[in-house]
Structure 1
Amino acid sequence: MEPLITLVAVTGLLLLAGEFGAVRFQRSEAALRGGLAAVFLLTGGAHFVGMRQELVAMVPPALPAPELLVTLTGTAELACALGLLWSRTARVSAAVLSALLVVMFPANVHASGGDVPWWDRLGPRTAVQCVFLAATVSVLVCHGRAAAGSAGTAPSDSPPGSHRS
């Protein structure tokens, strides 16, 4: 539940900052990228600190090397979280995160069994996963449109009025 709260809170705060003049966040896509970056920094960090053993236990038994898989997916989440913050890599990062959300879904199915709280059951887990997937796909689509709309150049990370060479 914490990742969903993080997505909503950080995205909302960044949108609010945009309303108060933070030029960078006046586009909802940039605020969503920031919210997603916060989510995947949180979840990617959990692959190494705090919840590592729980995440290893989530790996379906049919898959080999659960420790390695948790390390690889955590590293990918952290790298893509940072990639979302830079316009030139945001689209690729959103695509990789979208694929990861789909590929890691069997771990959510595996973890939803047994005596778990309501939010860890398959229905709520699936709904939250769909929210994250919708957000990453939105960044992928919207960022692609923004890039195409700027005559073949990537959306600027620089404030208006500044020039890049």
Structure 2
Amino acid sequence: MAVFLTLVLGSLAARATLADTWPAAIACGLALMFTLTGIAHFVPGMRRDMIAIVPPPLPAPALLVTVTGVLELMGAVGVVYPPTRADAAGCLFVLMLAMFPANIYAARMPDPPASMTANLGLRSAEEAVYLAAAIVVAVRGGQ
């Protein structure tokens, strides 16, 4: 829920203070959100939990968590820089789609890590909002 609130409240705060359009405000919310989640990939307890939810068929779970964390942080920077905003949002959209199987795997685990929301319906609804935000920025953010 913290990630969802970061996106929503960050977007609202940006629109109220510094962003002159909703796509620019949502880009700020996405930047805050992906900064939060990107850093979490390197915080020991969260990192352990993320490694645990990488589906078993995928190789090198620790490396995948590192790479996705770096990509999230790069995307956060990219969405606040207007010349790269739309492309970065499109890349974050693809990244979220690529990572969603880990959410499905976590929801089906008999004993998921405590930091992971086991409710797939809630995870899916939040993911739909994140994807929609990325689409708004990808399509309208460069204008």
The verdict on a shared fold, with TM-score over 0.5 as the criterion, is yes
Q: How does 1:7-86 map onto structure 2 within 5 Å?
A: 7-17=7-17, 22=18, 25-50=19-44, 51-86=46-81
Q: Distance in 2 between matches of 1:61 and 1:84?
A: 32
Segments of structure 1 that go 5 or more residues without pairing to the other structure are 147-165
* 3-state SS of paired residue (1:88): coil
* 3-state SS of paired residue (1:61): coil
Report the CA distance between 1:115 and its aligned residue: 4.8
Segments of structure 2 that go 5 or more residues without pairing to the other structure are none
Runs (4+) of structure 1 exceeding 2 A deviation are 113-120
Report the CA distance between 1:135 and its aligned residue: 0.3
Query: Alpha-carbon deviations, 1:50-88, whole Å to 9, x = none?
Result: 410000001000100000100110000000101111011
Normalising by structure 1, we get a TM-score of 0.80
User: How many residues are treated as equivalent by the alignment?
Assistant: 139
Q: Distance in 1 between matches of 2:94 and 2:48?
A: 23
Counterpart of 2:13, as a letter, is: L
Counterpart of 2:36, as a letter, is: L
Percent identity of equivalent pairs:
42
Counterpart of 2:6, as a letter, is: T
1:111 aligned partner: 106
Counterpart of 2:52, as a letter, is: A
Q: Distance in 1 between matches of 2:118 and 2:30?
A: 21
Q: Distance in 2 between matches of 1:56 and 1:131?
A: 24
Normalising by structure 2, we get a TM-score of 0.91
Query: Of the two structures, which has the highest relative contact order with CA contacts closer than 8 Å and spacing of 6 or more?
Result: 2
Report the CA distance between 1:119 and its aligned residue: 4.7
CA contact (8 A) 2:93 2:135 kept: yes
Report the CA distance between 1:26 and its aligned residue: 1.8
Q: Distance in 2 between matches of 1:44 and 1:88?
A: 22
